[in-house]
Amino acid sequence: MINSTEKDGSLQNHKLFYLDIRLNNLCNLSCRTCSEISSSVWAIENGREDFLFYPGKHNGDYYNQIIEHIDNVKSIYFAGGEPLIQKEHYELLEELISRNRTECPLRYNTNLTKLVYNKKNVLDYWSKFKKIWVMVSVDGNHSNLEYWRNGTNYGIFLKNLKEVKKLNNIFLGINYTLSWPNSFNFFKTHKELVENKLIDVSNFNHHFLSYPTYYSIDILPNFKKQKLKFELENYIDWLSSFKEYDLSNKISNILFLLEKLDNINEDQSDIELYKFACETKHLDTIRKQNFWEIYPEHLDIKEYIETKLKFKF
């Protein structure tokens, strides 16, 4: 590639072999850890009239930017917003199919709450491709998921998960964004999906949330971290029981987290918990929800905030 560039660094024959496509912020959910940049529902909730954000100079400019690379691309990644409810996503799939590019691997990050858009079932499209990786964003189960990823119906989500599993050309995995509110539900979610044979135990991935900082596990007060360490140690024991899988990376990540829990600044923790209290009270009010009913395991945090930080919910 270096030999192909001009002296000024330009490239006469510019071809992209990998496309990371985020067509707009159109989404049907307003997850607690998200924002209007990635969710149109968040933007509407914030009172924005121009709630859809598009890349490029105008809505539709994406086509001009992408189409010239379709014949050469070797891998495409779709994220959002939520790609499965974006018409542009289906336009691109149709373009790939019409050009006989169905051997091109597709990768997705999706909430998997919608499989049909405008009478178009994404499974009808996916069945035509050789290989597809579908990574599903899941941050809890049952009412925990419905609260944290607002707009989710857990029953419909499970139904969609089962439908996707029927396609043999799809690799299905879970991405769990681990924050302190959903940390105690982490193990239960993984175990339930495995026991119901919806995923293999090794296909449940997690990463630690860093922003908004008031949801980060780092800010837990010392009394709470001990309870979480106990839960995580039980989780490690459960993972270790699957001898047929190499789960060393997952276990090492949890061990790393346990080490991090030993280093907490109490003053910074109180500042972040106060921010959490303000945001939670605001969102619970406008969404008619109640954090403490959904996460009763954190009532000790509520007492801590009200007693030490003098905050009233």
Query: Where does residue 1 rank: exposed (0-12), middle (13-18), buried (19+ CB within 10 A)?
Result: exposed
Give the pLDDT mean for 156-169.
Answer: 96
pLDDT cut 70: percent of the chain above it: 96
Q: What is the pLDDT of residues 76-134, one digit of tens each?
A: 999 989 999 999 999 999 999 999 999 999 999 999 999 999 999 999 999 999 999 99
Query: Where does residue 230 rank: exposed (0-12), middle (13-18), buried (19+ CB within 10 A)?
Result: exposed
Residue-level pLDDT at 199: 94
**Which residues make beta-bridge pairs with 132?**
106, 170
The pLDDT of residue 299 is above 80: yes
Give the pLDDT mean for 7-28.
Answer: 82
Q: What is the pLDDT of residues 243-268, one digit of tens each?
A: 988 899 888 988 888 777 776 677 88
Give the pLDDT mean for 34-48.
Answer: 89
The pLDDT of residue 10 is above 90: no
The pLDDT of residue 218 is above 90: no
Structure-token pair, residue 152: 């989710």
Q: Are 181 and 148 in contact (CB under 8 A)?
A: yes
Residue-level pLDDT at 257: 80
Residue-level pLDDT at 1: 44
Cα distance between the two ends of the chain:
59
Averaged confidence pLDDT in the chain: 91
Q: Could you tell me which of 221, 165, 242, 241 has the C-alpha nearest to residue 197?
A: 165
